[in-house]
Amino acid sequence: MKSFIPLVLLTGLTVAFPSAFAHNDDYHNNKDCLSDADATRVTNNWLGIFSGNPGLINTTLSKDVTVYDALINNGNLSAIATNREDYYKFVIKFTYPEEGVIKNAKYTLEGGGLMFHTCDKIAMRYIGHAESTGKFSAPAGTPITVAVNQLLSVNKKKEINIAWSEYDLFTMLKQVGVIQNPWGGP
């Protein structure tokens, strides 16, 4: 059942953002398509941004990147950032100890490699492990684990130009103490 859930969630992303899977005529030449090595590099860099290396934003994202994040927007489909600089500020605010709500973050592909790609899209499911900084009601050091479904669109330079994220928001908000389990128990 657990392996079925990521498939359902990734399918949900395709329904929520059908234009993300539309064929792009600019990619008619195979040399412009992602290779397996390109997709792995982009994926590792994306995860690295949140695991202690925000400088990867400058080499992994296009200058005019647009980022949609269901966690921050509570399901609203408006973008949280429309360029590298704004996304850098967002990442620093939420994921680095000086400013952030979490620390010691480490993100890895679920099951050691749940990622697949097309010519210009990468879909993945990854797991984040971190600790609370105590900025919510959970005490500092409280373990935080979140599962994320991610869809990335890349340009011909193999930079991310659009990113869509969907999180297990209920579980994460429960872990940091923002909400309590309405059914009782932990």
pLDDT at 118: 97
Is 60 exceeded by the pLDDT of residue 20? no
Is 60 exceeded by the pLDDT of residue 21? no
**What average pLDDT score do residues 168-182 get?**
73
Span between the terminal Cα atoms of the chain, in Å:
22
- For the stretch 29-86, pLDDT in tens is 578 899 999 999 999 999 999 888 889 999 999 999 999 987 665 666 789 899 999 9
Residues comprising the chain, all counted: 186
pLDDT at 161: 98
Q: Which long-range contacts (C-beta less than 8 Å, at least 24 apart) are formed by 92-98?
A: 92/54, 95/50, 95/130, 96/54, 97/133
Task: State the burial class of residue 74 (Cβ atoms within 10 Å of its Cβ: 0-12, 13-18, 19+).
Answer: exposed
pLDDT at 154: 98
Distance of alpha carbon 99 from alpha carbon 149, whole angstroms? 25
- For the stretch 79-131, pLDDT in tens is 989 999 999 988 887 776 666 778 888 999 988 888 999 999 999 999 989 88
The Cβ-side half-sphere exposure at 80, using a 13 Å CA radius, reads 20
pLDDT at 73: 57
Of 152 and 11, which is predicted with more confidence? 152
pLDDT at 71: 63
Is residue 127 classed as helix, strand or coil in its secondary structure? strand
| CATH numbers and ranges of domains, the chain | 4-13+31-175 (3.10.450.50)
Distance of alpha carbon 120 from alpha carbon 154, whole angstroms? 5
Structure tokens that stand for 92 in this block: 């620093």
Report angle CA 9, 105, 169 to the nearest 5 degrees. Answer: 35
pTM of model > 0.85: no
**What average pLDDT score do residues 168-185 get?**
70
**What average pLDDT score do residues 145-159 get?**
94
